[in-house]
Every structure is written in structure tokens, then in C-alpha cells.
Amino acid sequence: MVRAIAILIGAGIVACLAWALFGTVYSAVTDPAPPTAVEEFHRHPKEVELASNGLLGTFNERQLQRGLQVYKEVCSNCHSLKHVAFRDLTQLGYSAGQVKKFAADWAVKAKQFDPKSGDTTDRPNTPADYFPTVYYPGTGNPPDLSLITKARHEGPAYVYSLLTGYQDQPAALLKHFPDAKVPDGLYYNPYFANLNLAMPPPLTQDGQVTYLDGTKSTVDQNAKDVTAFLTWAAEPNLPARHGYGLAVLGFLLLFCVLSYGAYQNIWRDIKH
């Protein structure tokens, strides 16, 4: 008797759950939720051609130097780069002397605590220092850029697309989603996750940065170069990693050939 009641209650619960599931699926099919502005207007990053792309990608030193210049003259006003040390810049082809001067001239000075007086004072950066943290009083929180190309899906393509993707809010968007007007103090960018971000367009006109190597300084070029630089910042040992990968594949290939030879040798006189 008790058993029959238990089975009945169980069957009742299963029936309820099945009914609820049916209701959810039915309404999802017959009356789907209307698409949101983000679903309709968010765009996938554009492809960007960088020397570091692909399995054998490596860095283009001159492009990294130009990217550093864009970071220094534009992005570093708001964004920190706290995981990169000045001495790492020798990997960009600068001499130790050049790096020393670059660090000493860096506008934001290193902080130094004097244990005797208890005061914190400024001192020029040395090559051993990391890029100092930037104070940013404006709207929004500019993230540290050291690892940004790793922190975002399709990092380099995303950063490049974001920098070159600012535009006016499309009229079609406002027509379909009248409530989705860009909030005050934000800027429309279809590559940003929620379409509106607090970063004012940082690269607005060609020639904003004057390159020393004669490369034409366009917004597109600036965006590419700083993207290449940030890709290096996030993974400076990328070319070495690609090199190891190739060497390991070569070794495995050779190992396969040798194993096959050994197999042939061992089984030579055995019927199998």
C-alpha cells in the first residue's frame, strides 16, 4: 500500500516536471524572446594581419617600436602596463642605453618610500622598474593593457577592431530599440560587448602620431601597430614558443620514422 502511494507521488512529480518542461519549450518555440540590441548589432572582430599570426608567426621589431610609440603618446594617458618592465624593451631592438633614457624620461615617475621620513617621493624610472600605474580620474575604468590580448576572445583582432570600430549609433538600432540610446558619456562601438563603452575614441585622425621610420601614420596603421605591441606585451616569448613547437613536431616526425624502422626490424622474420 505504502509502496503504491510512493509510486503515485513520484509519478505526480514527474508529470509536473514534464508539464513544466513542455510549457517552457512550447513557449520558446511559439513565442520566442525578442532579440536584444546587442544580439542584433554586436559585431565579430575584423581580421587583422600581423606578423605574429599563425603557427609560425613572429614579431616585426619595427612595428613593435611604432606600437610602443602609439602606446606612449596615446594610450598611456589612461592605461597602465604594469606587467611590462622597461628593461623588456631591449627585446624590441633598443640598446640598454636607449632603454635607460626611455625609462628616465617616462612622464609618470616611480614612487619611492623613505622609511626615515615616512614620505613617498617621486624618482625617475630605471630599466628595472615596471611601467608605473596610471592615475585616471575620468569616466570608466581603463583596464591594464599588459594582458589584454590574452584576456579577450580573439585578442589582437578584437583590440584592432575596437580601436577602428567607433561610429555613430546606426539609425536602424534606434528605430528598433528606442530605449537603447547611447548613455551620456559613453561611445558607440559595435565590437564592444554591450555596444557602448566609456573610452573616447583614442585614435581619431591620421598623423596623430609622427613615426620616425617613415611609415605612413594612419589611424588604421596606428591601431595595427599598437595591437602588435600589446600582443608582444602579453606574450613576449611567442616566437620562441612557435620555434619550440616546430622543433617538437620535427622530433616527433623523426621519432615516427625511427619507430617504424624499429618495428620493421623486430618483426622482420616473424610471420604476422
Binding-site residues for heme c sit at 75, 78-79, 199
Rounded Cα gap, residues 173 and 181, in angstroms: 9
**Cα 168 from chain centroid (whole Å):** 24
Smaller CB separation from ligand HEC, 112 or 205: 205
Figure out which of the listed residues 50, 78, 99, 110 binds ligand HEC, where binding follows CB under 6 A: 78
Q: How far apart are CA 66 and CA 92, in angstroms?
A: 10
Residue 70 binding ligand HEC, by CB under 6 A: yes
Instruction: Identify the residue among 50, 68, 110, 162 touching ligand HEC (CB under 6 A).
Output: 162
Q: Provide the minimum distance between the beta carbon of 18 and ligand HEC in the complex, in angstroms, as a whole number.
A: 42
Q: Do residues 204 and 70 lie in contact, with contact meaning Cβ atoms separated by under 8 Å?
A: no
Nearer to ligand HEC, 70 or 173 (CB): 70
Task: Tell me how crowded residue 72 is: count the other CB atoms within 10 A of its CB.
Answer: 19
CB neighbour burial string for 73-89, b if at least 16 within 10 angstroms, e if fewer: ebbbebbbbeebbbbbb
In this structure, which amino acid lies at residue 63? Q
The pattern of x and - marking residues 197 through 236 that bind ligand HEC according to CB under 6 A reads xxxx-xx----------------------x----------
Q: Which residue ranges are tagged as binding site?
A: 75, 78-79, 199
Q: Which residues bind ligand HEC (CB under 6 A)?
A: 70, 74-75, 77-79, 138, 140-143, 148, 152, 159, 162-163, 197-200, 202-203, 226
